[in-house]
Each structure stands twice: as structure tokens, then as C-alpha cells.
Structure 1
């Protein structure tokens, strides 16, 4: 597969390769798995949306079933740094949307920040996740994050990965947000939350809240939905409608911060909240 064809796949919204597709493309490139993941990282990296830092990060991960997922970092003008989507977060939320199989190896263009190491530790509690940083030899997460604080310290046993939501038959925003909320991973607050978005083309995407034992590295549902939309070739500024579905009276209220983020995408974005 030529560099041009690989780039075209990503530009057309192919941030997810099935095991069969991965094997075909990997064979065409004549690369071992590690080399293929590194290749996909550098192909995806230019797709990062970084109007603030201009620091492009790419990531590629493979799950236990051989599927490959890509990720890039996304920054938002007019929003706080806390709203940023890290490339590793992008990859993980995308993998969780499509599969119940955990990611077992990740290649990244730069060393993962502390925020991302903690985020990855949520499902990799034994530190066995293998990281490929640039062209360096593989290193386990147990080396990158020694003596990690994780779910077991808070007596949480809920699995991070679960069966993905059923595909929508119709582009119903409320139903998409509800399904996303039911697919959220929220063992710390118990406040299920999900978001659906509609783009100018009429396509609907959704994302689920992903909590973290350290709290701050959690990924809010709007960022997850934005990642899903961008992975399918839809820029965040193409989003026209946002629906948040969350627990009524829950310990967490996502509405204020996510409404602000939605309006930073476009002042004409429609935002409303429904409840489980």
C-alpha cells in the first residue's frame, strides 16, 4: 500500500481497520505488526487538529482481536486546555465504541504525557500494555507508570471494555445519546452520561463518558463523540446539533462545561439535555 493510499484511507474516515483489513494492508507494506503500527502513526499524525500548540500527535493501537485503531490530538480554540482530546484518548474511546476487545499495543509519535499514562492505566491495571514510542524499542506501561494508582485502589472491579452499543437504525439523536449513556464507564460517580452529535451532512455520532481512578484524566462524552465524528471524516466545526443524556440528579453535571465546548465549535450549535 502506497503512502498516498494510506493517507487516503485516513482522510476518508478510516481510523479503524478490521483484522482482515489490517492483515491485507500490512502484507502489502511488507511490515511486521510493530512496523505497521509505527507507519500508521506517522500517516495519521498530520491529521491532528492543534490550532493552539501546533504539536501534532499520532497514535495507532491494536486490540486482542487484531483490529487497529488510530488516534490524533484535538484542541479547541476558545475552550480551556482541560477540554483537549489526547491522541491516546481518541484511540481508546474509538476502540471501545467498536469493540469489547482491549487494546494490547500502542504506537505513538511522542512519549505519552502523564495524563495519558494514567488514562491508559484504567484498563491496563497490570501494566502489560506495550508501548512503541517513535522508533524506540517496545516498553511496557509498568515502566512508564511505576507504582500506579488505579481502579483497585478504590475497590473498583467493573471492566473498562464492554459490548459496544447496537448500531442505530435511524438517525435519532435522543436515542443515540441514550445508548451512549448506557455504554459509559462511570464506576466512581455512577453518573452515566453520553452525547450524540449531528453534522451538517446529517450524520449522527455518539460518545460515552469514561471516568478514571485519578478523576481528572477522565474523558467527557462530547470529546468522545467529536472523536467518533472526526474518525469518520467530519471536522468538529461541521457539528450542528448536540444532545447530552445524563443521570438526573447525579453527582456529576456535564451540561455547563460541555455546552461551553459545543459553543466554541460554533455559536450556532444547538445544545440540549435529556435524562435517563
Structure 2
């Protein structure tokens, strides 16, 4: 991954230029992103903008090639990077990185798209609003549909290398949550008043399950990936009105693992646990299918727990 310089590309109406990071700057930023699990906080962004003398949006688009470096694409060899510009709980601008992830010898429908990865990163890490998303390539229809589940989806700015769009321009006459009678969205969920009856469960895993966006199946579910040396990674189930672009909790968690620069293998992963809502289970088959793509991983632990209202 080392290079003499890292070209930070940006385009404006008046120019098409680049800014170069030297080897030390590039390596430091890569290391920082892995440590922070694919997130650049407000202070990081301000420091980089000052150092490079660029605006936030130019930096956002310029760093997309670095997001692509987190891609795991053994099938397509097509590396997609995406960065969400969002607001954290304090209203500060934060960059959430994402990249596509593919799984050998499994249905192509199990892949994680770059846009999904970035949005999932923002959602899991407490972003309250997505302002823009910068992407290395034009989003496919699947990703446009996934983005349509966001609050303010129609006004979402999509920044591409050659041209910028509103999501509504790329997805006219769309089908979304309200067509299924759902007045909520991925970043504007219904108030959670439930809890799991089994209090002996991992509290953090339960919190991620209860934070799942599951207006269509009601399967509040989450996955915990425990590693030997790098802590735990969590993922929540995120559904979509079109159903197919839904992101499973295992896909969600694996994407987080990859954004830390880690490999999903037996040398790294100690255990994988799936928590589902009793009576609404629908994720164990998908999780087992993804895990079957890898050799020597621990057996999936599946927990079905009852919700108390």
C-alpha cells in the first residue's frame, strides 16, 4: 500500500488539480484510519484542511481513493470507495469511510457495496444526519435504493469524480419506506421501548440489536465479532423497503472489521455471535452462508431472545 505520494484528487468548475501527500503523511493517515476504524473526526478534518489548504468537500472527494484501499474484492477486482460526510451527536462534521466487500464461493447478493459500508459506518457510530456521500464510481441501482431509505434521501448530495447529483436525480419515481406505510427511516427510526428478557446476554450486543432498523421484519438482531488482539466489532441489521438491499448484521460487522484493516480469518477471529428476536428470526442462514466462504472460522453461535415490551 505504500507509495511515493498519494494524490488527493479534486474537481471544481474552474479547475482539475490534485494535492499530494508525501509518504509519511500517507502512512500516518492510513494508520490513523485503521486505528479509528474508518472514521475521521472533526478535529482530524480541520487539521487536514488547514495542512492541505483545501475545503472540507475537496478533502472529502480527494480521500475517496484512500477509502478504496479498504476494499476486499476477490471476485470483481473492482475496488469501490465511499465516504459519508455526516454530523455526529454534537453536530460536528465527521467523515465515515466505506468500501465494498465480496465473499468467495457465495451468492453475489451477499456482497457489501461501498456505499452501504460507508452509510453503515456512519449509522453504527452515532451519526445523526448524512449530508453528502462521495463515491469513486457511479452508484448502481442497488445502492441508490439502499440510500433511498435515509432520512432526507431526496436531498442527499452524491459527489462523483466527474459530476455531482442529488439522489432524486439518480432515482426518479422512487419506491421507499412510505410506500409500505413506514414513516420512519434509517436515520430517523421509531422510538425504541423494548428490551430483551434475558438479562444475561452481552449488554453491548443487545444494544446493537435493539438499535437495528427493522420496520419490516421486526427481527431486532446484531452480530458480535470478537478478535484475538483487536477487540470486538458489532453490526446491526438494516432493512430496506425493497427488501433485497437490506444489510445483514453479519455483513454490517464484517464491514467494520475490514475498515480497521483486519482480515476475516481464523488468525484474527476468535468468535462470531448472532443475536436475533425470537419469533422473527431470519438471519442465521445468511450468516452461515457468509462464514462458509472462509476456512477455519469458529462455528457461529446463534442466540434467539424474546423481546419484553
TM > 0.5 fold call: yes
Q: Which range moves more in the overlay, 96-105 or 86-95?
A: 96-105
Please point out which of 166, 170, 174 is paired with 2:202: 174
Give the corresponding residue for 1:271: 300
Cα distance in 2, alignment partners of residues 173 and 228 from structure 1: 22
C-alpha displacement of 1:124: 4.2
C-alpha displacement of 1:227: 1.4
Give the corresponding residue for 2:262: 234
Cα distance in 2, alignment partners of residues 175 and 117 from structure 1: 34
Cα distance in 1, alignment partners of residues 175 and 121 from structure 2: 24
Structure richer in helix, relative to its length: 1
Q: 1:98 to 1:11 in 2, by over 3 A?
A: closer
Q: Which range moves more in the overlay, 194-203 or 212-221?
A: 194-203
| 3-state DSSP of counterpart to 1:161 | coil
Alignment partner of 1:80 is 2:107: yes
Alignment partner of 1:113 is 2:140: yes
Give the corresponding residue for 2:160: 133
Q: 1:57 to 1:242 in 2, by over 3 A?
A: same
Give the corresponding residue for 1:59: 82
Structure richer in strand, relative to its length: 2
CA contact (8 A) 2:151 2:188 kept: no
Query: Pairwise CA RMSD of aligned residues?
Result: 2.1
| 3-state DSSP of counterpart to 1:47 | coil
Cα distance in 1, alignment partners of residues 58 and 27 from structure 2: 18
Counterparts of residues 135-214 of structure 1 (less than 5 Å): 136-161=162-187, 174-201=202-229, 203-214=231-242
Alignment partner of 1:247 is 2:247: no
CA contact (8 A) 2:149 2:176 kept: yes
Gaps of 5+ in 2: 1-20, 190-199
Cα distance in 2, alignment partners of residues 126 and 21 from structure 1: 27
Cα distance in 1, alignment partners of residues 103 and 174 from structure 2: 30
Give the corresponding residue for 1:25: 48
Q: State the Cα deviation string for residues 204-256 of structure 1 (Å, max 9, x = none).
A: 11110000000000000001111122222322222231111011111x42111
| 3-state DSSP of counterpart to 2:69 | helix
CA contact (8 A) 1:210 1:220 kept: yes
- The structure having more radius of gyration, on CA atoms, is 2
Cα distance in 1, alignment partners of residues 159 and 115 from structure 2: 12
| 3-state DSSP of counterpart to 2:272 | strand
CA contact (8 A) 2:224 2:273 kept: yes
Alignment partner of 1:222 is 2:245: no
CA contact (8 A) 1:211 1:218 kept: yes
- Please report the TM-score for the alignment, with normalisation by the length of structure 2: 0.80
C-alpha displacement of 1:14: 4.3
| 3-state DSSP of counterpart to 1:265 | coil
Q: State the Cα deviation string for residues 170-197 of structure 1 (Å, max 9, x = none).
A: xx98333322211100001111111111
C-alpha displacement of 1:121: 0.6
| 3-state DSSP of counterpart to 1:213 | coil
Q: Which range moves more in the overlay, 144-153 or 121-130?
A: 121-130
